[in-house]
Chain A
Amino acid sequence: MCHQTVSLAARHLEANGIASIVLGCAKDIAEHCGVPRFLFSDFPLGNAAGRPKDPASQAFTLELALRVLETAPVARTTVQSPLRWSADPSWKLDYSNIDRLSPEETRRRREEFDRQKEIAKTVRDEPATK
């Protein structure tokens, strides 16, 4: 949802005169939505602004984003960061991969998802405080 949300927001800002760039790790979601400029880091979700405990990676990522913001020639410009998460790409096989879950784990996740959905509904229905 995160990538969809910021992609929709970027589109809306752009259409109203504010140049935008999305930093993200889910290339397909941002590009399917369609955004003006996208800096793709091929990292696990949660690291769109660089590698943890690695200020050089974080500085590089933001500076690259600024270059893309300034120099992208047309909409749907995607630039992929050259940084690698790991020499071993096998981490990419894990996220929400149903082939890697046992029937018991699948059942547990369904129960947990339903439980969290109820919690989210409660939070959503609370009076806004901000």
Chain B
Amino acid sequence: MSERDGRFGFAPEHDAPIPYMQRIRDYYQALGYGAAYRWAHYAEVSFQPLQKPLAECRVALITTAAPYQPGKGDQGPGAPYNAAAKFYTVYSGDTAIDHDLRISHVAIDRAHTTAEDSNTWFPLPQLRRCAAAGLIGEVAPRFHGAPTNRSHRTTIERDCPELLARCCADGADAAILVAN
């Protein structure tokens, strides 16, 4: 720590949000892959204010986690990256019951977390509690699983419309989407 940092109480330079896009770009270039990935990027963003108080809203939950699949290799806790556990179509599940969802198929931070507690990526129990406490009107009848795909075309033209259709069919007013 420099004298100035100590004097003014500055945080270390690296104590800032991780620049993932740059890290990932440098990483794959060093591994020997060619053109850098083009991340989705928009200048315009839609905004839909809630049409009624949240305490009256039906709220959907969308996750990138995958159902545990016996026979598809180590899915954690502590599993290395496991592409065999990936899924490529939108799926849904009943929010009234508990589910065993895992995140071994996505690039979580395996050095610093172990995926031992699904409540850190799939807050369905917490959402039910919020409904019981009256913070939201109710939990939508189904949660939805979103495939993570490098292909923008697949995500934008196939999976996003499917997620919307399912949320609409469930009468959702709002959605909580949890990334991994």
Q: Measuring CB to CB, which residues of chain A are less than 8 angstroms from any residue of chain B?
A: 1-30, 32-36, 40, 42-53, 55, 58-59, 61-63, 65-66, 69-70, 74-76, 85, 89-98, 101, 106, 109-110, 112-113, 116-117, 119-120, 123-124, 128, 130
At the interface, is chain B mostly helix, strand, loop or mixed?
Answer: loop
A92: chain B residues within 8 A (beta carbon): 14-16, 18
Q: Measuring CB to CB, which residues of chain B are less than 8 angstroms from any residue of chain A?
A: 11-12, 14-24, 26-27, 30-32, 39-50, 53-54, 60, 62, 64, 81-84, 86-89, 91, 103, 106-109, 111-117, 119-123, 126-127, 129-130, 135-136, 146-150, 152, 155-156, 159-161, 163-164, 167-168, 172-180
B23: chain A residues within 8 A (beta carbon): 95-97
User: A8-B155, A49-B178 in contact; A66/B130 too (CB < 8 A)?
Assistant: yes
B47: chain A residues within 8 A (beta carbon): 14, 36, 74-75
A49: chain B residues within 8 A (beta carbon): 119-123, 126, 178
Are A110 and B31 neighbours in the complex by a CB distance under 8 Å?
A: yes
Complexed CA–CA distance, A47 and B114 (Å): 10
Which residue of chain B lies nearest to A118 when distances are taken between CB atoms in the complex? B83
Complexed CA–CA distance, A24 and B84 (Å): 24
Are A44 and B17 neighbours in the complex by a CB distance under 8 Å?
A: no
Are A36 and B50 neighbours in the complex by a CB distance under 8 Å?
A: no
Complexed CA–CA distance, A22 and B111 (Å): 24
At the interface, is chain A mostly helix, strand, loop or mixed?
Answer: helix
A-B pairs, top 6 by smallest CB distance, nearest first, are A46-B108, A44-B109, A89-B15, A75-B45, A120-B83, A24-B179
Are B108 and A45 neighbours in the complex by a CB distance under 8 Å?
A: yes
Are B112 and A6 neighbours in the complex by a CB distance under 8 Å?
A: no
